[in-house]
Structure formats: structure tokens, C-alpha cells
Amino acid sequence: MRSAWWKIGWRNLGRNRRRTLITSLGLALGYLAVVVMAGLSRGLVSEMIDNGTGMLTGQLQVFAEDYLPDRGIYETIGGREGVDVEALVARVAADPNVSAAAPRVYAGGLVSTGRATAAGVILGVDMKLEGDVSRLLSHIDEGRAPTPGQYEIAIGREMARQLDAAPGDEVVVVAPGADGSLGNDLFIVSGIFTTTITELDLGHAVAPIEVVQELVALAPGRVHEIAARVDDPWAADAAAAAVTAALEGDDAGLTVRSWTEFRPEMVEYANLVSSMEWMLIVFVFGMAIWGVANTMLMSSYERRREFAVLLALGGGPRFIVRSVLAEALVLGALALAAGLAVTLPILAWWSAAPPDMSWVYGGFTMAGGLMRPILRVEWPTSMIFITGGAMFVTALAAALYPAYRSARVPPADTLAGR
């Protein structure tokens, strides 16, 4: 019986194929618009999160619970005794969501050529592991990364400009040590990085972790942070919980936090964007619903005599309503098929080869992250389904009034042509 309704709906649509085609194409284009816009906005959010966290912070951080907010040089993981850094890094990296982890030491200090001095964060990183966690070192566009164990330092582009320093130049690095002394040593500038993020380009310098530890009088087992990369940023909270659980007990006194905690503005932006997806659905289908309703009204008006006959034969208003709604559902299915046929290939192509928009605009920073001038698209999987559902709802809602009107056709008058 159920298949009979589909059949009736399908045949009714076939009576005026051109109209059916135009209506379903309209819905399909609405589907395309919503899904592609959702994909684009999610792409923008992903790009922002990726750049905001991937450049330096990582998506997950582990540190001593007293380290924040002051970032005191003494507040190392494991206190004064420190920890087995290698083992701790391995335990953080063991989480399935974590793809890489690396230890870091942060020192506030000065980099000076003598004539000019710049203040900033002297970041000590494991030169072998850091590249898997953050991209900062890959942004060295002049010279090269510091060599492990050597007194070499990479500085930001703006700092280099202020110091008038180039790769190969000698600089003095001064930083207050953990023992109260004034750590100072000569470093060779090995490279200059350009991120276009002012905070990094102006206020950061990177050197091998073991060298920075020596500079600020920290033993090799004393680090401030284990930074980790979580490939799917939305899995970072789960990873943080799992890492917290894994480190509990013998590594007491540690705090694990994900980027959603230290970059809440990016979460807010992502939430804003996702709420806009719903608005997009409402706008697009809110417009489409009138077009569909118009079509359905016209088609039901043309079929008044048919409905009158059905009613005269004892079909009942319910029967009429059902047949009109079935037609709407089949229309929705047709439109969805058409929508998917158009949308999926476009999404696939777009996400595989995001168009380079650098001819329109250059890179810019947003929420502290560098945005590349490309139109990145993320697969909006949930939106593919939600929008499909919204389209059926639209088709059904558009058919409600025509169905109601059709069920109330007066059989005798209509058949008499009155």
C-alpha cells in the first residue's frame, strides 16, 4: 500500500515534467548553496584553528599546575627535581588522538646585538620533535633552523629588523635564570622566521632546548611544557581528558589543557559559524518554500476535478491530503538526488584543490592565526544530512496548504463546473 502512495506521487509529478524539473532544480540549488556555504565556513574555521594553534601552541599543552598564569621560570613540570622528559613526552604522545608531542622551555629575556636590544620570549624546543607539533620552524625563510646542542637561535622577522641582524650574526641573549642569576650567552643567528603574526615575528626567538636550559640554569629534566599536536582539533578535548587520566597518579600536579581552553575566542567563532549554518538553512529554504508552495498550489488547482471525482467516489479528504503530501515527498527526493549529484562532485573537487585566491587578497591574520589566501572547504558531513532533511521538511511544509485546499474541494460544484 505504501508503495502505491509513492507511485501516485511520482506519476502526479510526471504530469508536468518541466514544472517538476524547475521546482526540484530550485530546491537542489538551495541544497548546493547551503552545503557549500557550510563547507566553506567550516573550512574557514578549520583554517583559523589550524593556523591559530598549529603555528606555535599546539592543540594540547601539559604543564605544572602552578605554571599559569605567571609562567614563572621555576614552575617546571615535576618541580625542582624535574621529570624524565622523554618518558613524559612518550606518554602524552601515546594517546591515539595525539599525533606528536614535544617538550618546551620558555624564558623571558633580551636578544641584543649591542647596538640594539629586543625583548621577547626565548623558546627552547627539541629541534627533532618540534617540527611535528608546530610549524614555526618551517616558516624560517632566511637561513636555517638552529642545530641541536649549538648556541644558535632563530629570531622573528620583525625582531631581526629591529636588531638589524642577519643569519650568521652574533647576538647576546640575556634571561633571568631559575636560580636568580642573570643568564647570558652568545648565540649565532641561524635563521629568521616570518609568520606575519606580529607577536611571533617581533617577540619570539627559538633555540635548542638544552641550550636554553643551560642559559636559565634549568637542569635537563626541567621543562615548562609538553606541547602536543591533535590532528582533528575537535578531538582535542577528548584527548586532554584522556591524557589527564593517563598522567594521573605518579605525575600528580600536572594540568592538561586543549586549545579550546587557551583559545576560547576561536571556539566562540566556530560556534558562531555553526549557528550561522542554521540561519543559512532557514533563509535559503525559507525562500524556496514559497516557490514550491506556488507550484503545488497550481498543480492542485489544475487537478480540482480529479480530486472532486475521488471525493465523490468516497475517497475522503485524508486520501487527498496523503496523495498531495506524497507528491511533495517525491519532489523532495528528486530534489535531493539532484542536489547530491551537483553538490558532492563540487565539494570533492573544491576540497581536493582549494582555489588560490591570492590574486584577490593576500594572507591575513584572524584571531591570532595566519590565514592563507585559499578557499578551503571542509566536508560538512552533518550538514549534508541536515540540509537533506530540511529540504524534505520544506517540500512537505510547502504542500500542507495545497493539500488542505485540495481536500476541501466541493465535489458536486466542481464536477458541475460551478
Residue ranges in contact with another protein by CB under 8 A: 72, 74, 108-110, 112, 114-119, 172, 174, 176, 178-182, 184-186
Q: How far is the CB of 107 from another protein (least distance, A)?
A: 9
Q: Which is nearer to another protein, 162 or 351 (CB)?
A: 162
Using an 8 Å Cβ cutoff, are 332 and 391 in contact?
yes
Q: Which is nearer to another protein, 187 or 259 (CB)?
A: 187
Calpha distance 269→48 (Å, rounded): 10
Rounded to 5°, angle at Cα 79 from 77 and 85:
40
Collect all residues with Cβ–Cβ distance below 8 Å to 317 and sequence separation of at least 6: 311, 407, 408
Q: How far is the CB of 112 from another protein (least distance, A)?
A: 4
Q: How far is the CB of 76 from another protein (least distance, A)?
A: 11
Residue 210: closest CA among 119, 136, 103: 103
Using an 8 Å Cβ cutoff, are 146 and 190 in contact?
yes
Q: How far is the CB of 74 from another protein (least distance, A)?
A: 4
Contacts 24+ apart (CB under 8 A), 194-197: 194/139, 194/141, 194/156, 194/157, 195/55, 195/136, 195/139, 195/156, 195/157, 195/370, 196/363, 196/365, 196/370, 197/55, 197/365, 197/368, 197/369, 197/370
374 DSSP 8-state letter = B
Calpha distance 9→13 (Å, rounded): 6
Q: Which is nearer to another protein, 180 or 417 (CB)?
A: 180
Residue 363 φ/ψ, nearest 5 degrees = -70, 150
Q: Which is nearer to another protein, 16 or 112 (CB)?
A: 112
Torsion region of 249: left, alpha or beta (phi above 0 gives left; psi -120 to 50 gives alpha): left
Q: Which is nearer to another protein, 62 or 218 (CB)?
A: 218
- Three-state DSSP at 336 gives helix
Q: How far is the CB of 252 from another protein (least distance, A)?
A: 20
Q: Which is nearer to another protein, 4 or 119 (CB)?
A: 119
Q: How far is the CB of 154 from another protein (least distance, A)?
A: 19
Q: How far is the CB of 58 from another protein (least distance, A)?
A: 23
CB-based burial of residue 77 (10 Å sphere; 0-12 exposed, 13-18 middle, 19+ buried)?
A: buried
The residue behind cell 547551503 is 34
- Three-state DSSP at 155 gives strand
Q: How far is the CB of 191 from another protein (least distance, A)?
A: 21
Q: Which is nearer to another protein, 79 or 410 (CB)?
A: 79
Residue type, 272: L
Q: How far is the CB of 77 from another protein (least distance, A)?
A: 15
Q: Which is nearer to another protein, 118 or 256 (CB)?
A: 118
Within 10 A of 49 (CB to CB), how many other CB atoms are there? 23
Residue 149: closest CA among 104, 99, 207: 207
Helices (H) and strands (E) in the chain, counts: 14, 12
Strand-strand pairing, 98-112 and 225-230? antiparallel
Q: Which is nearer to another protein, 116 or 340 (CB)?
A: 116
Q: Which is nearer to another protein, 109 or 332 (CB)?
A: 109
Q: Which is nearer to another protein, 157 or 263 (CB)?
A: 157
Q: How far is the CB of 211 from another protein (least distance, A)?
A: 14
Q: How far is the CB of 286 from another protein (least distance, A)?
A: 51
The residue behind cell 609538553 is 226
